[in-house]
Structures are given as structure tokens and as C-alpha cells.
Amino acid sequence: MGADGFVAFVGVKIPLDPDDEETLDAWGEESHPDAEAATAAGLEVWTGRFTDGEDHYAMVGRLLGTFGLEGDSHRAVPPEEIGRIAEEVGPVLARLGHRDPPVLHLQFEAQY
């Protein structure tokens, strides 16, 4: 993102080592084995960080939207849709080895 915004995502959030450039690049290009497995299983992958100097992360599951000046300004998502998505991606995440259940992540990303 080039401007401040936030991401709405149902799934799991994975911290990434900021000193491991190879892993960061692989996740960003979706060529990391875990990212490839996720996309092959029909899930989406999002990578980012809060702002410059902060920890990097990947999210695996289902993207609900990106919001801000360079994204959507609004989207209404009924609770039952969030629940349906969580129920849909949960078993897939488990098959891929993720222990945590999917949750709704609202992640702010500041311009840097």
C-alpha cells in the first residue's frame, strides 16, 4: 500500500523474521512453500507490516478487503458471512498445519 489503510482478513497471521530477506521475498512473491500450499488449496495470502521498522507478517485465509485512499472506502460484511468464511477456511488451514483457528484480522498499515 502506498497510503495509510487497513486490511480486513479472515484467517491466521504468521510473524515473519525481518532479518530473513529470502523468506520475506518468498512470502511476498507467494513462492514460499507455505504460501504456495495455501494458494494451491484455494486460500489467499497477504503480506505486510504496520510501518517501516516494524515486524513483517503474512496472513493466510480469505481477504475481505483493503481500505483507505488506495482501496475501498466501505464494505458491509454481515456476521454470518464472516462466520461462514471462517468455517470454510478453518479445515483448510488445519490441513496445512496451522493450529490456530481463523479469526477476523483488521490490520492497519501506515504509509512509509
pLDDT in tens, 74-91: 999 999 999 999 999 999
**Is the full-model pTM beyond 0.85?**
yes
| Cα 17-109-11 angle, rounded to 5 deg | 70
Residue-level pLDDT at 46 = 96
- Which amino acid appears at position 80 of this protein? E
pLDDT band at 69 (very low <50, low <70, confident <90, very high): confident
Distance CA 84, CA 65 (A): 16
pLDDT value of residue 112: 59
DSSP-assigned beta bridge partners for residue 26: none
- The pLDDT value given to residue 53: 72
Closest by CA position to 71, among listed 53, 46, 103 = 46
Tens digits of residue pLDDT in 19-61: 899 999 999 999 999 999 999 999 999 999 877 777 899 999 9
Nearest to 7 by CA among 55, 52, 57, 42: 57
DSSP strand pairing (103-109 vs 44-49): unpaired
